Amino acid sequence: MTFLLGFYVLIWPAITLVVLVVICRAVMRDRRKAKEEQRELV
Amino acid sequence: MNSESLYQFSIPTVLLLLFAFYGGTYLMTLGIRKKNEDADAFMVSNHRVGFGMGAASMTATWIWAASFYAAATSGYTYGVSGPIHYGLWGALMILFIYPFGRRFRKLAPNAHTLGELIHARHGSSSQLILALSNVLGSVISLMVNFTAAGALVSVLSPLSFQAGVIIAGFGVLLYTLWSGFRASVMTDFAQLVALMAIAIVIIPAVFFAMGGPSELVAGLGNLTAEQTNLFSMDAILYQGAPFFVAVLAYAIGNQTISQRLFAVNESHIKPTFITATIGYGAIVIGLGMIGLMALTLGVEPMGGDMNNLIPQMVSTYLSPLFIALFFILVIGSLSSTADSDLSALSAILMADVYGKNLARGKADPKRMLLVGRLTMIIATAVGIVFASFSLDILVMLVFVGALWGAIVFPVIASCFWNRVTNQAFTTSVLVAMVLFCLARFELLPMSGGSDLFFEVLASIGGGVIIGLMVFGFLGRIAGFIAAALALVAMLVFATDFLRDYTVLLASLTAYGASTLVCVVMSLMSRQPDFDFATIGEQVGDYETQRPEPVTPGGQTAAANLATQR
């Protein structure tokens, strides 16, 4: 029970971390692509 | 266990935090600022926003201050399952809209608002109903976010509530005014990174500071049987179900979502919205866990105000540095939503009101920009003034969601079914709104047959919601089968039961009534079937307006549409 409840609370910040990494990497890629195509990011 | 008072920042510290946040955000927008902004870019950027920026913007926009407070309240009220019944359904609002979003984009690749699409499909009355619901939602959202800023500033510092509202209002307006949606998207990314990083640190920090998993298990004794149950019926019926009902309504009725659907690179819509779904769910459910922690510890919210739960927990267990991070977390979340609301409102006034109705296809891009910026200034002033009313956030969320419920079926059906008419759209929404109000405010006694009448309408509404959700992902046949099964299940289980859950009954009634009226009127109509190809021809960019295209029959698209109407 202790492990399960601990996991239940902490899994959400862990998923948030994964999404944060995915988004940051994607933004870097967006930025590079925009530069290559000589257009603005937004 | 109760804390006597919350940690208090000094006035210079809180002003420094606010000015650092808004000053930094403003400086960031200087990098993308143009002397002569493009009216289309002001509303939807270049229609080619990438996956990363799009996902960040969608997530940041959908997370508002109420998300944290309401998720924690849900955790505190319903226990173990509470945060999920707030965060999961909120996240699914983003997920379930993308299949329909792809259709909207296919029909009108260069649209700025969903209203423009509906204008091309039906004309002004339907478009203005949608625009009105969008405006209402965004103004309420602005008000709620400014209220949250005032409340936060007043509980964590000696500054007044009004000072917090005014600083947040002017801060958001300052960085959004010139570049509009482009500034909103650009700053959303930075705000989301800060927001996520802080959430990642704060949730475990509070958890371990309060004693960790063993303390949480020990505190389960303080909970009722319902609160310890992961499948609590109370949580499902009072928290989850009204939110589930609102899943499609929030997404359809919210211009901040439509704006991003039309701004993101078309091929990236799916990954963008799936990532935003996961990101939103994880952050909001995670912060909702702080409400559960408070419940297990027996913490009483200060002054009986549930909105004090998270600040109270952070203030009790963490150092002032974390409290400052929490402060930025809330300011970042409310500002990212508020700037999106300002951009949404400006786009509606620019495109739906000025572009399509006042200028009637001869819009001057410079004048459009002026309309957009004036809208932002007026909306900020209105939001600041209204913020002083301090309404209950959860009740408002459900109410506006139900209001939007009335337009869900007519909007979606109009984009897939060529027989829906303008009259069917308009009448169905108006009838649904009247019936919703009768049920929601109990203007009719729920007895003597009226209870059964509303339950049958609500059952149809339940079938429509399930049917549309399945239809979005699996197509027409699966959608019809799911709708029929859900309708039968609702008729069996909801009859003589739903009348006791007024909010749910009224929300479902809105869906059911609008669908019924819209379908019957469309089937009875003798108008010719609509040609969807004409939508793309009528909705385009304003800066590069083309001569009106001519259809194979030799008529212009507008003339063709008029004939069909």
**pLDDT single digits (tens) B462-510:** 999 999 999 999 999 999 999 999 999 999 998 888 888 888 899 899 9
Interface of B with A in 435-494 (CB under 8 A): none
How many Cα atoms within 13 Å fall on the side-chain side of residue B221? 4
What mean pLDDT is predicted for residues B372-398?
A: 82
pLDDT grade for B248, boundaries at 50, 70 and 90:
confident
3-state helix, strand, coil split of chain B in percent (to 5) is 80, 0, 20
C-alpha distances out from residue B369 to B179, B180, B262, Å: 10, 9, 19
- Residues of chain A with pLDDT > 90, as a percent, come to 81
Task: Write out chain A residues lying below 8 Å of B283, CB-based.
Answer: 12, 16
Q: Does B295 touch chain A (CB under 8 A)?
A: no
What mean pLDDT is predicted for residues B139-150?
A: 90
Q: Does A21 touch chain B (CB under 8 A)?
A: no
Q: What are the tokens at B62?
A: 């959908």
pLDDT grade for B1, boundaries at 50, 70 and 90:
very low
Task: Write out chain B residues lying below 8 Å of A41, CB-based.
Answer: 32, 50, 53, 186
B192: Cβ–Cβ under 8 A, 6 or more apart, which residues?
Answer: A23, B56, B57, B59, B60, B63, B279, B332, B336
C-alpha distances out from residue A40 to B27, B387, B451, B531, Å: 17, 36, 57, 36
B317: Cβ–Cβ under 8 A, 6 or more apart, which residues?
Answer: B205, B206, B209, B210
Residue B250 and residue B91 in contact, taking contact as beta carbons nearer than 8 Å: no
Mean pLDDT score of chain B, rounded to an integer? 90
CA angle B255, B28, A21 (to 5 degrees): 75
Residue B134 and residue B254 in contact, taking contact as beta carbons nearer than 8 Å: yes
Question: In this structure, is the dihedral angle defined by the CA atoms of residues B36, B40, B44 and B47, taken in order, positive or negative?
Answer: negative
Neighbours of B110 (CB within 10 A): 16
pLDDT grade for B390, boundaries at 50, 70 and 90:
low
Q: What distance in Å separates residue B223's CA from the closest CA in chain A?
A: 14
C-alpha distances out from residue B496 to B237, B402, B446, B448, Å: 15, 21, 11, 12
pTM of the entire predicted model: 0.91
Q: Does A20 touch chain B (CB under 8 A)?
A: yes
Cα B324 to Cα B370: distance, rounded to the nearest angstrom? 37
pLDDT higher at B26 or B446: B26
Quote the pLDDT of residue B547.
44
B29: Cβ–Cβ under 8 A, 6 or more apart, which residues?
Answer: B175, B176, B178, B179, B183, B186, B187
CB contact under 8 A, B56 and A9: no
Residue B263 and residue B47 in contact, taking contact as beta carbons nearer than 8 Å: yes
DSSP assignment of B32-76: T--SS--HHHHHHTTS-B-HHHHHHHHHHHH--HHHHHHHHHHHH
pLDDT grade for B304, boundaries at 50, 70 and 90:
confident
